[in-house]
Amino acid sequence: MLTIIIPVFNEERTLLSAIERIEDVNLPMPFEIILIDDGSTDKTRQIIKTLDGRIKKVLTHDSNQGKGAAVRSGLSEAAGEIIVIHDADLEYDPNDWPRLLKEMESSGIDVVYGSRFLGNIEKMAFTAKVANKFLTFLTRLFFKVNLTDMETCMKMIRSEALIGLELQSNDFTIEPEITIKLLRKGYKILEVPISYSGRTLQEGKKIKTLDGIKAALTLIKYKLLQSKT
C-alpha cells in the first residue's frame, strides 16, 4: 500500500483539487491519504470536513508548527510499505507517481525522487531556481552524491527507510534533513523526471528566502557533524 502524507496550511483554494487529482491517478496499488491540518486559519478545516470517507485519517495541529512537524505527525500514522509526501498546492502532479513506483519496483531501490530539473518546469522564479540549484550543489559537494534536485517535494521512500530516520525538523528544513539522513544511512537515491508548475507568494507559496538560508545552514551543520565523527 502507498501512504500519501499531505501537510496542509491555509490551502482553501487548492485542497479539494489536490485530493481530486490524487483520486484520478491510475495507481498500481491501493493507497491511503493522511492529511495533517497544520493550524489552518482560513476555510481549510471546513473543506476537510467535506472529505469524510475520502481521507484515511485527518490529524490536526492546534497551531501552525511547520511542514516538518506535519510530516512527522503523518509518519506516526502511516501504514503503507511506501510513503510519498505531497503538498496540497498543485505545484506537483501525482500523475508522475506511477513512474516513480515503476522505477522503485524495477530497480529494487528504496528511495526515488522526482526531479524538476530533469523534467518540465513551469513558472519557477529565477531566484527560486538559483536557490534550488545552489542547495543541490552543496549537497553534492558535502555528501558526494549525484543529485539534480535535493529540495524536490516529491520524495517516494519505503516506509522502513523513512520512519527509521528519526526526523527532527519542524519547518522546511525537513527536505535537506531527509536527504542527508538517507545518505548517511547508505541509501541510494534514484531520480525520475517530473513536471512542476510553481506558484507565486501572492498565490499562496509558503517557502521564502529565509527558508533557503535555513536549508543551507542545515546542510553545513550536518557536514560539520559528519567531519567530527
Top pLDDT among 157 and 211 is at 157
* Mean pLDDT score across all residues of the chain: 93
Interval 151-190: pLDDT, tens: 999 999 999 999 989 999 999 999 999 999 999 999 999 9
pTM for this prediction: 0.93
- Give the DSSP letter string of 143-178: H----S-TT-S-EEEEHHHHHTT-----STTHHHHH
204 pLDDT higher than 70: no
Interval 11-40: pLDDT, tens: 999 999 999 999 999 999 999 999 999 999
| pLDDT in the model for residue 207 | 75
Q: In this structure, what are the phi and psi dihedrals at residue 5, rounded to the nearest 5 degrees?
A: -100, 120
Q: How far is it, in rounded angstroms, from Cα 21 to Cα 54?
A: 13
Please choose, from the candidates 224, 66, 67, 49, the residue with its C-alpha nearest in 3D space to the C-alpha of residue 58. Answer: 49
Per the CB < 8 A criterion, the answer to whether 215 and 175 are in contact is yes
Burial class (CB in 10 A: 0-12, 13-18, 19+), 213: exposed
Domain count, the chain: 1
Beta-sheet strands, E only, within the chain: 2-8, 31-38, 57-61, 82-85, 111-122, 155-158, 189-197
- Return the axis-axis angle of helices 126-143 and 209-228, rounded to nearest 10°: 0
Find where cell 518540465 sits. Answer: 120
Label residue 197 by pLDDT band (50, 70, 90).
very high
Query: Looking at residues 44-65, what average pLDDT do you find?
Result: 94
Which residues are CB-neighbours of 64 under 8 A, at least 6 positions away? 9, 38, 39, 40
Q: How far is it, in rounded angstroms, from Cα 169 to Cα 122?
A: 29
Please choose, from the candidates 96, 108, 88, the residue with its C-alpha nearest in 3D space to the C-alpha of residue 149. Answer: 96
Q: How far is it, in rounded angstroms, from Cα 66 to Cα 22?
A: 23
Q: Range of 73's domain?
A: 2-228
CATH code, domain carrying 76: 3.90.550.10
